Amino acid sequence: MTKRIKDRSGSGSVPPKGDGESPAHDRLAEIAALIEADDPSDEGLPVTSSPSLAVGAFDAAEGATKTDGAPSAAPVASPGPSSALGTGLRKDDVVWPWGFAMRADGLYWAPPTTPQESQRISAPFEVRGLGRSEDGEHWCTVIRFADPDGGSHDIVIGHADLAGDGAEVRRRCSDGGLWISTARGARERFAAALAGCSTGRRVLLASRLGWHQAGDLFVLPDGSIRLDGRDAVHFEGARGTHFGQSGALDSWKQEVAALAVGQDRLLLSLGVSLSGPVLAPLGLDGGGVHLFGSSSVGKTSALLMGGSVWGGGGPLGFGQLWRITANAQEGIAAAHNDCLLALDEVGTCPPAELEAASYVLAGGQGKARMRSDATLKPRQRWRIAILSTGEVTLRSRIAEGRAQVRGKAGQEARIIDLPADAEKGFGLFDHAGPDGDPASLSKRIKGATSKHYGTAGPAFIRAFLEDREPATKALVGLLAKFKREHVPQSADGQVGRVAERFAVAAAAGELAISFGVLPFDAGAMEGACGRLLAVWIKRRGGVGSSEAREAVSNVRRFLQAHHMARFARDDRDESWRAQNLAGSKTAAGEDQVFYFFDSGWAEAIGGIDPRTAADALAAAGFLIRGSDGRRKCQRRVNGVLQRVYGVKATIFEGEEDA
């Protein structure tokens, strides 16, 4: 396939198309045609979300700067090339107040009426423009200068900071390496020059990564990607991440991505990583996949490969440990908005904190907080794709230290527990790689991802922006096609939600293949994600209701633990022997039955609705209904006739969930 991405740098505008369409555009048309030729009906699929093609699909992310309950403001229009907010200045004009001038060697106070008073105030700097947030607030002046070693620094100078003596402004500039004169009057004149400077240039202050301006702009820490040459962008968010680039896209494709050919879990990691930017245009929530297995299975290889799409250079490449404090969770999530959050070693996160952390990271919004004046602060929002690893499942880790935990289907569908072992004899890998040795393959992935990273994500964004409408339509079609081909019509709603996670990873991956960003044959990503969805369904025990399976499992486990001590023989007076009685039982034998009191039943089913649990056991053939067909039957216990839940001892013969 001819490559369509002309500019592979980390920032810059997308070059305009020529008269002819690109090969990738043709490929998008082919995808659309294939999808339309297939069954276009999505009716009956157990999927809850409805992807949207409208630019309004980006609004949830845009709302990050708005106070809860207030309507979102429309994106602030950029000034035209010939004026700036009615000032008459051309876009590139910079006008200093009377008496000030920027020369080659710095800023001067040089009043034309008294040239003898000329004074050098500071080293030279560039006025990038007047800055403001997306909602038109927090006006400031953004300057750029070089330190003595040639390093570039951008400083945001709030106009409110210039209202006083400007000491804080001077401190920040000096701290960055800008020389400012300490001669008499120089410090005050430095502040006066900045306060009176006028310019037609504008700078957007972006406090979060990802999509801005209704999807026309994508912000990364080291640059922005957009369709046109509108405002410059200054990123003010957290920089304690591993975004960055090393090497070229072609070298990443040859040295890193090529190692994923025929490796389903490596392909999935790439698809999950690339799914971050398409969540907003599709109107989908954040979430991802947790790979679990022993320490020697090779989980970190998948984390390194998926992370290399966006960056690297850290001990875990682009990733970081799950050891995140509650206060840091929101900041870390916002710092990866519309991208990937790669987390290693779930065991480093205390069980008591893990459940809340998984909800926060996948949930997409932070806590509501108050300002000192009792008004609401803007609530942080994000959409992230999550790739996680650990020796145990998220559910198991959350359950540690508790007597009984009922897994929550919502949490399990947001971050999917998937076995890391491919069960082919090579750990995580489906084959042993080019050297015929899985250990050697792991080393190659580690070495390659330390040298080549951070180019595929920006390239994918640029290609998506250039063909946004057909690309988004292709994504929607690929999602529907995946669900038709890999999700049974009878599947439970949870299965549909999990399938959507695999589907969006497959769709993003297939789109990246069409763009030339991934070096695979068309269909490779869909095939891998479809096979892994089947692995998840098999481990789950089928596509039926998770609550039904869990109800049977919980009652079975309860009886295994307490059938001797907490059930009295109803043909004997044994109630005095039992502690915390849960019910009664008939004599041991093939026809033994356990009769649960309401309190014992509630404890056994672990938080599931009592009627739902009874129906599940009835469907499995373990519940004894009353003569009237009700869920409870009548039984005389210690001479008193009671309505109880009757469960056959044959429940012990059922298979426990994996």
Token look-up 């893990």 returns 354
The CATH number of whichever domain residue 383 belongs to comes to 3.40.50
Say if residues 157 and 140 touch (Cβ distance below 8 Å).
Answer: yes
- Residue 460 placed within a domain: yes
| Residue (of 259, 287, 600) closest to 413 by Cα position | 287
Same domain, 463 and 609: no
Same domain, 315 and 393: yes
Say if residues 591 and 624 touch (Cβ distance below 8 Å).
Answer: no
Burial readout 491-507 (b: 16 or more C-beta within 10 A, e: otherwise):
bbebbbbbbbbbbbbbb
- Mean pLDDT of the chain, nearest integer: 83
Say if residues 122 and 179 touch (Cβ distance below 8 Å).
Answer: yes
Kindly indicate the confidence band of residue 656, based on its pLDDT and cuts at 50, 70 and 90: low
Same domain, 485 and 602: no
Query: DSSP letters of 430-478?
Result: SS-TTTT-HHHHHHHHHHHHTTSBSSHHHHHHHHHHHTHHHHHHHHHHH
- Residue 386 placed within a domain: yes
- Residue 317 placed within a domain: yes
- Residue 110 placed within a domain: no
Give the chain's count of helices (H) and strands (E). 20, 25
**What is the pLDDT, as a whole number, of residue 490?**
80
**What is the pLDDT, as a whole number, of residue 655?**
58
CB half-sphere exposure, 425, CA atoms < 13 A: 5
What does the chain come to in residues? 658
Token look-up 């006066």 returns 192
Q: Distances in Å between the alpha carbon of 433 and those of 105, 106, 255, 528?
A: 58, 59, 13, 17
- Residue 418 placed within a domain: yes
Same domain, 630 and 596: yes
Q: Distances in Å between the alpha carbon of 311 and those of 223, 246, 453, 570, 584?
A: 13, 8, 5, 67, 61
Q: What are the tens digits of pLDDT across the range 462-479?
A: 999 999 999 999 999 999
**What is the pLDDT, as a whole number, of residue 541?**
76
**Residue numbers of the domain that contains 589:** 546-653
Three-class DSSP category at 508: helix
Q: What pTM was computed for the model?
A: 0.78
Beta bridge partners of 419: 292
Same domain, 624 and 475: no
Tell me the average pLDDT across 124-139: 89
Q: What angle do CA 244, 246, 251 make, to 5 degrees?
A: 135
Q: How many domains does the chain have?
A: 2
Helical pair 468-486 and 524-540, crossing angle rounded to 10 deg: 40
Where is the domain boundary, 512, 540, 568?
540
**What is the pLDDT, as a whole number, of residue 510?**
98
Same domain, 535 and 594: no
- Residue 73 placed within a domain: no
Q: What are the tens digits of pLDDT across the range 259-306?
A: 999 999 999 999 999 999 999 999 999 999 999 999 889 999 999 999
Same domain, 357 and 274: yes
Where is the domain boundary, 540, 574, 597?
540
Same domain, 530 and 584: no
- Residue 198 placed within a domain: no
Beta bridge partners of 233: 204
- Which H or E run contains 396? helix 394-399
Q: What are the tens digits of pLDDT across the range 413-446?
A: 889 999 999 999 999 999 999 999 999 999 999 9
| Residue (of 554, 534, 552) closest to 543 by Cα position | 534
> Alpha helices of 490-609 — where are they, by DSSP H?
493-515, 524-540, 546-562, 598-605
Q: What is the C-alpha to C-alpha distance for residues 353 and 365, in angstroms, rounded to an integer? A: 17
Residue 140 buriedness (CB in 10 A; 0-12 / 13-18 / 19+)? buried
- Residue 613 placed within a domain: yes
Same domain, 264 and 300: yes
Q: Distances in Å between the alpha carbon of 598 and those of 129, 274, 485, 615, 646?
A: 70, 50, 44, 15, 11
Kindly indicate the confidence band of residue 80, based on its pLDDT and cuts at 50, 70 and 90: very low
Where is the domain boundary, 477, 511, 540?
540
Q: Residue 226 corresponds to which amino acid? A: R
Same domain, 402 and 513: yes
User: For residue 3, is pLDDT > 50?
Assistant: no
Same domain, 323 and 406: yes
| Residue (of 25, 194, 33) closest to 125 by Cα position | 194
Q: What are the tens digits of pLDDT across the range 480-512?
A: 999 999 998 888 888 999 999 999 999 999 999
Q: What are the tens digits of pLDDT across the range 227-271?
A: 776 778 888 776 668 999 999 999 999 999 999 999 999 999 999
Same domain, 505 and 643: no
